[in-house]
Amino acid sequence: MKVMDIKAQLENDIKDAIRSKDELRKRTLGMALSAIKLAEIDKGGLLDEQGLISVMHKEIKARKESIADAEQAGRSGLIAESQAEISILEGYRPKPFSAEELENLAREAIAEAGATSPQQMGQVMKILMPRLEGRATGNEASQLVRRLLGA
């Protein structure tokens, strides 16, 4: 799915969920679409690809945090619901990089920055982050760069 089509796809899928009376899907996609619209209002215009991906990441992250809270509170129903919402939202994210693809990007960024030690990690991350295009998290990238730089 092309990233710029995420919003249109969400709108179409909400209509389908309403027709099929799929309440979980309708609610989950509705919350994602609301988050996108709120981000557009905050920005004062339409979101670009990276903005849309970022909103979808935040929606998934919020549900993962809900799962952690629900586990502490022993609320298995909430855990199952949040996991179902995550699987619905995962379908709207770009395909993640394979470990090999991410490592190749990290090695290229290290070479461009001329980095040889962990102290230069910031320079590498500045080059690498825009290239991730939402297909890997900053945390995954920073752990890999740290490992490659021998930290």
Residue 102: CB partners within 8 Å, gap ≥ 6?
136, 140, 141, 144
pLDDT digits 0-9 by tens, 112-124: 999 888 899 999 9
> Same domain for 44 and 106?
no
pLDDT digits 0-9 by tens, 54-91: 888 899 999 999 999 999 988 988 999 999 999 999 88
Among 85, 95, 83, 67, smallest CA distance to 29 is for: 85
77's tokens:
């129903």
pLDDT given at position 39: 94
> Same domain for 112 and 85?
no
pTM listed for this prediction: 0.71
> Same domain for 81 and 55?
yes
Domain range for residue 140? 99-148
Q: Pick the residue with more confidence: 28 or 135?
A: 28
CATH number of the domain encompassing residue 85 = 1.10.1510.10
- Per-residue pLDDT band for 134 (boundaries 50, 70, 90) equals confident
Q: Is the pLDDT of residue 137 over 90?
A: no
Angle at 97 between CA 110 and CA 57, to 5 degrees: 105
Q: Is the pLDDT of residue 52 over 80?
A: yes
Q: Using DSSP, how many helices (H) and how many strands (E) does the chain show?
A: 7, 0
The total number of structural domains that make up the chain? 2
Integer Cα distance of 118 and 144 in angstroms: 11
Question: 């760069």: which residue's tokens?
Answer: 145
> Same domain for 115 and 144?
yes
Integer Cα distance of 99 and 1 in angstroms: 21
CATH number of the domain encompassing residue 126 = 1.10.10.410
Integer Cα distance of 143 and 36 in angstroms: 29
Average pLDDT, the chain: 89
> Same domain for 24 and 80?
yes
- Per-residue pLDDT band for 94 (boundaries 50, 70, 90) equals confident
Q: Pick the residue with more confidence: 134 or 30?
A: 30
> Same domain for 84 and 104?
no
